[in-house]
A = this chain, B = another copy of it.
Amino acid sequence: MPKKRFNKKRPFFQHYVIELFNVDRDLLIKDTSVSNYIKKFIEKLKEKVVYSTSYNFTPYGTTLIFVLRSSHLIVHTWPASNYLHIDFLTCFNPVQPTILSEYIKSLFKIKDFKIKLISY
């Protein structure tokens, strides 16, 4: 079986995309409306935030940035589409999709979401 060309040159990490659909629009308008949920999510992931900031778009929609000790978690919201996107890369704390799913359900109280572990 041929070896994967890039396998041994890449450091270990996991990269997830998490999508939340049909989210209450009010939650997605700006950073302050959604950040508490995301902070609790990061706590559950046992990730350490080393730097965080946010940027609110005009007229609405927000980007939340968390640099983690292990890498990053970036949130974008599209209020007009009731949609929230999380880009999460970690090189220390691997987590199973089923566990992520439990965290999302318990925090956001929604059923309509998708978790994708990106294959490299």
**The one of B21, B63, B71, B118 that contacts A76, using a Cβ cutoff of 8 Å:** B71
Q: Which residues of B contact A55 (CB under 8 A)?
A: 50-51, 67
Knowing that A11-B81, A118-B118 touch, tell me 13 more A-B residue pairs with CB under 8 angstroms.
A6-B19, A6-B21, A9-B22, A9-B81, A9-B82, A9-B83, A9-B112, A10-B81, A50-B55, A65-B67, A71-B76, A72-B74, A72-B87
Identical chains bound together, number: 2
Interface residue tally on A, bucketed by range: 20 to 34
Bound together, the chains give a CA A83 to CA B91 distance in angstroms of 13
What is the interface of chain A, defined by CB distance below 8 A to chain B?
6, 9-11, 13, 15, 17, 19, 21-22, 50-51, 53, 55, 63, 65, 67, 71-72, 74, 76, 78, 80-83, 85, 87, 89, 112, 114, 116, 118, 120
